[in-house]
Amino acid sequence: GQNIDQPTEMTATEGAIVQINCTYQTSGFNGLFWYQQHAGEAPTFLSYNVLDGLEEKGRFSSFLSRSKGYSYLLLKELQMKDSASYLCGSYNQGGKLIFGQGTELSVKP
Amino acid sequence: DAGVTQSPTHLIKTRGQQVTLRCSPKSGHDTVSWYQQALGQGPQFIFQYYEEEERQRGNFPDRFSGHQFPNYSSELNVNALLLGDSALYLCASSPPGSGANVLTFGAGSRLTVL
């Protein structure tokens, strides 16, 4: 089966750095996705990790440790527009992408 | 290039009724997945369609059924609606090929059951 756990809410200050953690248990694990979802909008793709290590993409980075079943999304130089829900999703070899409950990030001035 | 389009965007039904939601995948995509997202929750996987067949299914009752057409578009049907079926229903499409593919989501159909 698949099980994903991430914090429900986080608050950070504009210009700061925030790390959103995610733990997962997935049979036939085939990758870890992060999506961003603004209120009332569709989720949009941020990152995909299938090998251990850090993937950097501008202000956003994502890390994966397969042995620990652990990932994090790192957001640097936070902007007000980064206030959104961040969805951690694990992908199994059968082609099923399962999401956690989402982490609601609030960026304060 | 249009992304994933869903219709209707909003609808209201009463308990016991049936509803059909529609999805057109992004151009070049052949696989469609459906998700249910309750307020404040992450998307819950309902099922996935590929080559007009249901390939994967989540923990949803048989009241939830679907279909994929030869042009890759898809429908989600929910029978005997319950109040708890009120949610945003998201359709996501992905391209051909094995391995993990990035899902592109539509804006969703918001269903309210009274």
Question: Best mutation site among B24, B29, B37 for testing chain A: the one with the most A CBs within 10 Å?
Answer: B37
* Secondary structure of residue B99 in the 3-state scheme: coil
Q: Measured between alpha carbons, how far is B113 from A84 in angstroms, rounded to an integer?
A: 26
Instruction: Sort strands A103-108 and A9-13 into parallel, antiparallel or unpaired.
Output: parallel
What pLDDT digit, counting tens, does each position of A31-86 carry? 999 999 999 899 999 999 999 999 999 999 999 999 999 999 999 999 999 999 99
Q: Within 10 Å of residue A95's Cβ, how many Cβ atoms? A: 18
Q: Closest-CA residue in chain B for A97? A: B45
Q: Which position has the token pair 């793709």?
A: A45
What pLDDT digit, counting tens, does each position of B7-53 carry? 999 999 999 999 999 999 999 999 999 999 999 899 999 999 999 99
Distance (Å) from the alpha carbon of A60 to chain B's nearest alpha carbon: 17
Residues 54-93 of A with CB under 8 A from B: 85, 87, 91
* Secondary structure percentages of chain B, helix, strand, coil, to 5: 5, 50, 45
Q: How big is chain A by its Cα radius of gyration, in Å?
A: 13
Q: Measured between alpha carbons, how far is B66 from B59 in angstroms, rounded to an integer?
A: 14
pLDDT band for position A20 (50/70/90)? very high
Q: Is the peptide bond before B8 cis (omega within 30 degrees of 0)?
A: yes
A38 touches chain B (CB under 8 A): no
- B81 close to B19: Cβ distance less than 8 angstroms: yes
Q: Within 10 Å of residue A89's Cβ, how many Cβ atoms? A: 28
- The gap from C-alpha B113 to its chain's centroid, in whole angstroms, comes to 17
Q: Please say if the pLDDT value at position B56 is more than 80.
A: yes
* Secondary structure of residue A82 in the 3-state scheme: helix
What's the N-to-C CA distance of chain A in angstroms?
A: 41
Cβ–Cβ below 8 Å for B43 and A99: yes
pLDDT score, position A52: 96
DSSP A59: T
Q: Measured between alpha carbons, how far is A37 from A82 in angstroms, rounded to an integer?
A: 10
Cβ–Cβ below 8 Å for A45 and B99: no
Q: Measured between alpha carbons, how far is A52 from A67 in angstroms, rounded to an integer?
A: 9
